[in-house]
Homo-oligomer: A and B are copies of this chain.
Amino acid sequence: MINEQTNPLDGIFAALSDPKRRALLARLAAQDGLTVGELAGPLPISMPAVTRHLDVLEGAGLVSREKQGRRVLCHLRPAPLRAVRDWLTDYETFWTEGLDRLAALLEAKP
């Protein structure tokens, strides 16, 4: 059940555990191709901090950076989010069945 190799989900979940990194993803989802400066602008964190967060997001495959002349444009990459969605799918049956059991219980005890 446990794979000795590193599972990409380890890095994806770790990257998503920081609210500032989730905020960066949300901004890139709303507006693709922002520069690091544009990303840092409205957030109460420094440019170097944003760069470090982008390093983590890029390491997890959630963000890519593209050089255009002197500007670096950031893009959200959805594949790791699909991996999370796929991982969750196994549990959906579980919680749906849980709700079904609850409904049956409520019907049995009106």
Copies per complex of this chain: 2
Q: Is A29 an interface residue (CB 8 A)?
A: yes
Chief secondary structure at chain A's binding surface: helix
Are B26 and A90 in contact (CB-based, < 8 A)? Answer: yes
Does residue A18 face the partner (Cβ distance < 8 Å to B)?
yes
Q: Tell me, yes or no, whether A68 is within 8 Å of chain B by CB.
A: no
Known contacts A78-B94, A98-B78; is A2 also within 8 Å of B17 by CB? no
Would you call B19 and A10 a contact (CB within 8 A)? yes
**Chain A residues at the B interface, C-beta cutoff of 8 Å:** 1-3, 7, 9-11, 13-14, 16-20, 22-23, 25-27, 29, 42-44, 76, 78, 81-82, 84-85, 87-88, 90-92, 94-95, 98
